[in-house]
């Protein structure tokens, strides 16, 4: 299962080191950065940077009252639900800011064809 998850986590923006750290925390919750580094065989400093990035992405929660600080990974479904809510909130805020019709070239519209290809339409 772990190897099947790697490309999926990569497709949602996790780096290779973030994937390693995230999967390690799913297997061993409440681990310190040092313990995660030992588990994945990476440098401690690099591992802490990856854990900080995962925290910023909302995939990992830190318990800073523990000494040393320990980390817990959200389950994949919890993480994806949180990202979905974030995108829905962003969509509401964007629509509230006015109709955003063109994000690229305002003279070219695009539509998705039935085959999943982007087909530019003639300028109006």
Start-end of H helices in the chain: 2-11, 16-27, 33-40, 44-57, 76-96
- pLDDT of amino acid 28: 96
pLDDT digits (tens, 9 = 90+) for 94-104: 887 665 555 55
Q: Which residues of the chain have pLDDT under 70?
A: 1, 97-124
Domain 2-74 belongs to what architecture?
A: Orthogonal Bundle (1.10)
Which helix (H) or strand (E) covers residue 32, if one does?
strand 31-32
How far apart are the C-alpha atoms of 108 and 121, rounded to whole Å?
6
> What pLDDT does residue 67 have?
93
Query: Which residue shows structure tokens 């993480």?
Result: 79
Predicted pLDDT of residue 57: 95
Residues 47, 52, 55, CA angle at the centre, nearest 5°? 125
pLDDT at 95: 84
CA count, 13 A, side-chain hemisphere, 80: 7
Q: Are 70 and 31 in contact (CB under 8 A)?
A: yes
What's the DSSP call for residue 41?
A: T
Q: Is 114 helix (H, G, I), strand (E, B) or coil?
A: coil
Strand partners, 120: 110
Q: Would the pTM of this model clear 0.85, i.e. be above it? A: no
Looking at residue 11, its pLDDT comes to 92
In angstroms, rounded to a whole number, what is the distance separating the alpha carbons of residues 86 and 66? 29
Question: Domain-by-domain residue ranges, the chain?
Answer: 2-74, 77-120
pLDDT the model gives residue 3: 83
pLDDT for the residue 113: 46
């Amino acid at each position: 299962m772990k190897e099947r998850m790697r490309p999926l986590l990569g497709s949602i923006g996790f780096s290779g080191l973030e994937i390693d750290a995230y999967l390690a925390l799913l297997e061993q919750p409440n681990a310190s950065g040092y313990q995660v580094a030992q588990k994945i065989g990476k440098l401690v400093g690099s591992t802490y940077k990856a854990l900080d990035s995962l925290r910023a992405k909302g995939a990992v929660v830190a318990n800073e009252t523990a000494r040393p600080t320990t980390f817990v990974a959200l389950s994949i479904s919890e993480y994806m639900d949180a990202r979905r809510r974030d995108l829905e909130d962003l969509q509401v805020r964007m629509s509230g800011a006015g109709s955003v019709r063109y994000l690229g070239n305002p003279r070219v519209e695009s539509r998705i064809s039935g085959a999943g290809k982007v087909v530019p339409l003639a300028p109006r």
